[in-house]
Every structure is written in structure tokens, then in C-alpha cells.
């Protein structure tokens, strides 16, 4: 889904999740010998959270249901256009010039209407992708901050957006964040995005 990928690129590029544990009234703990300070810097793979967390999966399933409904409508329009085109091709020679022109104009109108509907559906789907994924990412940000404070990390970065060239597996908090996110998620089926429908065109 190209809309999802474009949305993720923008969000991940703009997402900076930094947790500062040391506070003004509490001195920062001394770094242990042997490079222990590195253990206080971790990273999160946001794309993996979206792909594997219960909320991320539910959001994608809701989008897939929306997409299937839209595809069914477009398939119906396509079948209607094919039937009309076949009728014009088979019976065109038997029609009067005015009748043939009227059928051709009808075909063109329906083709333009279908093209506009497809464009409306695409924009609507991208909008719903943005709403659902933005909600997930906002919730995840709170989870990351809580986990970072509980685990006493100085900083947590987004693996892809931060341009991390190398990262040890021990510094990966993604699965822990997914578990924490799933535990706080409400039980039961996820709510589907509102069915607003495409804007009507005159």
C-alpha cells in the first residue's frame, strides 16, 4: 500500500522519541565501568511495532476491510462499463447515428464517473490510513516513554528515522514495547474507521 509507506516515511522521519531520565533534582547515576553507559541508550523499530502489535495489526485489518468494500464497488462499475462497451460494439451498426452517439456519450460519462470514484476512494483510504496509524504511533510514544523511564534509559531513538548504522540486539526495545502496548490495549475487537464514504461529485 503505497499510501501507508509514504505516511510511514514522513512519520518516522519526524518521530523523535527521546527519554531523558536524569532530572534536575535527581543527579544522574554514574556510568558503570566497562562501557555500561551504552546500555542506557536503546532504539525502537516503529515499523515492526506497526506490523506486529495487536493494535497495528487491527488497524491494517480495518483498512483491508475498507479496501475490499471499495474494490467491490469498483468491480461493479467495471463490469457495467464492459457490458455497455460490448453492446455498443455488437449493436452499433444497427443503431441510428443519434442512438449510437447517445450510447457512446453514456459510456464516456460512466467511465469518467468511475475514474472520479476511484480517485475518491484512494484519497479516502489514505486519509483513514493516516488517522489509524497516527493513533497507533501516538499511543506507542507514551509506551516508549514509560518503558524508558522504568528501565532507566538516557535516550531511546527510532532505528530507521535516526539513521542508526549499527545497533546491538541487546539495545532493541521493540519487542518489549510491543508487549507493553498489547497489555494495555482494551480487550475485544478493534473499532473500524468511520464509514464516511467518498464525497459526492455533481
Among 5-14, 68-77, 163-172, the range of highest mean pLDDT: 68-77
Residue 149 reports pLDDT greater than 50: yes
Half-sphere exposure of 140 (CA within 13 A, CB side): 33
Residue 30 domain-assigned?
no
Higher pLDDT, 127 or 19: 127
Cell digits for 130? 493516516
**Are 199 and 120 in contact, with CB atoms under 8 Å apart?**
yes
User: What CATH number is given to the structural domain containing 66?
Assistant: 3.30.910.20
Residue 119 domain-assigned?
yes
Structure pTM? 0.57
If one counts the domains in the chain, the total is 1
Residue 202's pLDDT is 42
Residue 107 domain-assigned?
yes
**Are 187 and 46 in contact, with CB atoms under 8 Å apart?**
no
Higher pLDDT, 86 or 194: 86
Residue 25 domain-assigned?
no
Give the range among 52-61, 88-97, 122-131 with minimum mean pLDDT.
88-97
Residue 201 domain-assigned?
no
- DSSP E strand boundaries for 31-137: 41-44
Residue 191 domain-assigned?
no
Residue 77 domain-assigned?
yes
Cell digits for 114? 468511475
CA angle 148, 150, 153 (to 5 degrees): 40
Residue 4 domain-assigned?
no
In which domain, by residue range, is 143 found?
A: 13-20+41-184
**Are 19 and 153 in contact, with CB atoms under 8 Å apart?**
yes
Amino acid at each position: 500500500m503505497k499510501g501507508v509507506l509514504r505516511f510511514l516515511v514522513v512519520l518516522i522521519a519526524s518521530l523523535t522519541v527521546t527519554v531523558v531520565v536524569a532530572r534536575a533534582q535527581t543527579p544522574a547515576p554514574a556510568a558503570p565501568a566497562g562501557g555500561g553507559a551504552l546500555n542506557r541508550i536503546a532504539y525502537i523499530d516503529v515499523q515492526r511495532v506497526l506490523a506486529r502489535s495487536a493494535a497495528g495489526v487491527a488497524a491494517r485489518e480495518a483498512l483491508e476491510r475498507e479496501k475490499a468494500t471499495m474494490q467491490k464497488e469498483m468491480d461493479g462499475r467495471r463490469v457495467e462499463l464492459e457490458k455497455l462497451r460490448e453492446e455498443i460494439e455488437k449493436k452499433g451498426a444497427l443503431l441510428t447515428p443519434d442512438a449510437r452517439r447517445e450510447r457512446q456519450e453514456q459510456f464516456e460519462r460512466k467511465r469518467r464517473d468511475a475514474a472520479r470514484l476511484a480517485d475518491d476512494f484512494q484519497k479516502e483510504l489514505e486519509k483513514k490510513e493516516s488517522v489509524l496509524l497516527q493513533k497507533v504511533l501516538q499511543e506507542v510514544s507514551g509506551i516508549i516513554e514509560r518503558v524508558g523511564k522504568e528501565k532507566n534509559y538516557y535516550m531511546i531513538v527510532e532505528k530507521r528515522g535516526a539513521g542508526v548504522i549499527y545497533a546491538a540486539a541487546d539495545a532493541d526495545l521493540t519487542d518489549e514495547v510491543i508487549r507493553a502496548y498489547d497489555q494495555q490495549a482494551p480487550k475485544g475487537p478493534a473499532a473500524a474507521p468511520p464509514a464516511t464514504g467518498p464525497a459526492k461529485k455533481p
